[in-house]
Structure 1
C-alpha cells in the first residue's frame, strides 16, 4: 500500500502498569493507526545510525541485524523476510526516521488496517528522552498516562519486572511525572496528560479528546479491541500474551480502581504519600497522609536511593559508545534489580 514519505508519530509514555497497554490496544484497533508492541529500537539504534543520510547495503544489513537483537523485538508479529527486503529497498538517500518508518509499517497488527495516517509507539522509557525524540520527529506528540501512585504500586507488586519496594516504585512514578511536566512546559502543544481513572470511567469522552489531540477520526469501534482474543491466541505463544497483559482481552471496566486500599499496609501508604509529595495533588490524587515523618523518610531511603542511582547510571551510560552501552544496559539493570530485590523485598 502506498504511503506518504513521512508519517507523523505519537508516543504513549508513563510508568509501567498505569494503563499504557490499554491505551495502546485502543489505538491498535483503529484502522488508521499503526502501533506495534513495545520496543525502544528508535532511540537505542540512533547513536549508531542516526547520522546516516545515504544508506548502503552494508548499513541496512547491520541495522537489520541490530534491530533483531533489540529487547522485546522478538515479540513482534512480523515477517522478517519481508522486513529485510523492504529495508534493502531503502539504499540511497534516506533519513533515519525513514528507515524506522519501514520497521513500524512492517508490524502485523491483529486488527485490519487501511491507510495509515499516524504511527504510535508505546514505550515507558521514552518518558525521559522526549527531547531526543523531538529531534528525530519534530512534529511528535506525547500522551502521558497517569494512575494513582498507590494503585500503580499494587499493580507492580503482581509482576516480576519491577522491584516491589514501595519507596522505589513511588519515586519512579514521581520522577517520570516530573520529567513529563518539564517537557510539557517547553512544548505545551505536544503533550496531553490522561488519567487512567478518567479513561476507564468515561472511555468515550476521553478517547474522543485524545483523537482530537492527534487529529484522527474518532471511531467508537475501537472499544471492541478485546474481541480479538482468539486471534491473539492463535498468533502468539501463551507466555507472550501473559507478558502483554492478557487481562486486556476484556471490555474496559473500573474493577482495578482503588485496590491499594485493601492491599497496602498503613506504613506502605504513609511511605507512598510522603515520597509522592505534592505531585500527588498535582496529578489529581488525594494523599491520606500529608505530614512529614522522619521515621517514614528513613524507611523510604533505601528505595529512593536505589532509584536515584539507577537514573544517575542511566545518564552516564547514555554517553558511552553504542556497542558498549548496549551490552551494559542489556544486563546491568536486571542484575541490579535482582540484587536489590533480594536485599529489600521484605522491607517497605
Structure 2
C-alpha cells in the first residue's frame, strides 16, 4: 500500500491519474479515512474498541460510495478492517490490500490532501515508521496559491494562511522521511517538464515496471473530465503552468508567500 502526499492544488490528482494508468495500480477516489482513522487511534486506547469504530467509519462514511464502495461491499470493508493487524498501517494494508486483491491489482494507494494536513496525527499513529510507501509531491506555494484562487471551493481569505500551512506540513513530512527507502519526494515542476523519468522512478519505488501508456493524456482522468477543478487532466503535461503564478498573483500575494513560507521555499529550492 502507498500514500500520495501533497498540498491542495499541488498536482496530486494529476499524479494519481497518471499512476492509475498502470495496469497493476489502483487509487480510488479521494477519502478522509486515513486522517480520521489516525484521530480515532490517537483517542481510543483499546484496540478492540478502536477497530470496531474504524470498521464502521470505513463502511458508513460519506466517502464510502466514491472510494471503497467502487470495489468492496460494506461487509467486505468491515471484514478487512476487523481482520487487520493492530495499528493504522495494519488497517490500511488490510483495507487497500483487499481492494487490490478484488481488482487483480498488485498495489493500491490513497491520495488526499487531508493526509498531509493531518501529518502530525499520522506521525503519532506510527504511520511514518511503517513499511508503507510514501510519495510526496511538492509544488511551489506561489503556484499552488494561484491555482487555489481559481477554484470555487477554496475558503475566502485562503491567501492569508495557506502559505504557512504549506510551509509547515511539507517541511514536517520531508524532515521526518527524507532519506528513507520507502519515501520519494518529487516536485510538480519537474513532473510536468520531464514526466517520463519521474514516473519511472515512482513505479520503481512501488516495485513495478514502467508502462509507456502512463503518459497517455487522452486516457487520463476519464471520470473527472466534467469536474471544473480538473479540466487540464486530459491535456498533455503543461510545463508552462509551473510559473504561471508570476502573472496570476499580485506583488503583495507573492511577497506574502515568500515571507510566510520562506523556509520551505528555500529547502525545496524555489528561492
Give the alignment of 1:167-206 within 5 angstroms. Answer: 167-185=160-178, 188-206=180-198
Q: Which residue of 2 aligns with 1:84?
A: 74
Q: Is the 8 A contact 1:34 1:105 kept in 2?
A: no
Task: For 1:37 and 1:22, locate their aligned partners in 2 and report how far apart those are by CA, in whole Å.
Answer: 13
Pair 278,55 (structure 1): closer, same or farther in 2 beyond 3 Å:
closer
Which string of whole-angstrom CA distances, capped at 9 and with x for unpartnered residues, describes residues 82-139 of structure 1? 512424655985435666556436769xxxx974222211122322144246449821
Q: Is the 8 A contact 1:34 1:118 kept in 2?
A: yes
SS of the equivalent of 1:144 reads strand
Task: For 2:81 and 2:131, locate their aligned partners in 1 and report how far apart those are by CA, in whole Å.
Answer: 25
Q: Tell me by how many angstroms 1:155 deviates.
A: 0.5
Give the alignment of 1:285-296 within 5 angstroms. Answer: 285-286=270-271
Pair 147,94 (structure 1): closer, same or farther in 2 beyond 3 Å:
closer
Q: Tell me by how many angstroms 1:41 deviates.
A: 1.1
Q: Which residue of 1 aligns with 2:30?
A: 38
Q: Tell me by how many angstroms 1:146 deviates.
A: 1.0
RMSD value over aligned CA atoms? Answer: 3.4
Q: Which residue of 1 aligns with 2:115?
A: 126
Question: How many residues are paired up?
Answer: 261
Q: Which residue of 1 aligns with 2:232?
A: 247
Task: For 1:51 and 1:30, locate their aligned partners in 2 and report how far apart those are by CA, in whole Å.
Answer: 39
Q: Is the 8 A contact 1:54 1:91 kept in 2?
A: no
2:257 to 262, 272, 275: 272
Q: Which residue of 1 aligns with 2:13?
A: 21
Q: After TM superposition, what 4+ stretches of structure 1 lie above 6 angstroms from structure 2?
A: 53-56
Q: Is the 8 A contact 1:157 1:164 kept in 2?
A: no
Task: For 2:20 and 2:269, locate their aligned partners in 1 and report how far apart those are by CA, in whole Å.
Answer: 28
Which string of whole-angstrom CA distances, capped at 9 and with x for unpartnered residues, describes residues 143-196 of structure 1? 1111111111100111223444433111111111221122125x6323211110
Task: For 1:158 and 1:37, locate their aligned partners in 2 and report how far apart those are by CA, in whole Å.
Answer: 22
Q: Which runs of 5+ in 2 are unaligned?
A: none
Pair 50,202 (structure 1): closer, same or farther in 2 beyond 3 Å:
farther
Q: Is the 8 A contact 2:136 2:184 kept in 1?
A: yes
* Greater Rg over alpha carbons, structure: 1
Task: For 2:3 and 2:81, locate their aligned partners in 1 and report how far apart those are by CA, in whole Å.
Answer: 28
TM-score normalized by the length of structure 2: 0.79
Q: Which runs of 5+ in 1 are unaligned?
A: 1-8, 287-348
Which string of whole-angstrom CA distances, capped at 9 and with x for unpartnered residues, describes residues 186-215 of structure 1? x63232111101000000011112222222
Tell me which moved more, 131-140 or 261-270: 131-140
Q: Tell me by how many angstroms 1:50 deviates.
A: 9.0
Q: Which residue of 1 aligns with 2:3?
A: 11
Pair 178,38 (structure 1): closer, same or farther in 2 beyond 3 Å:
same
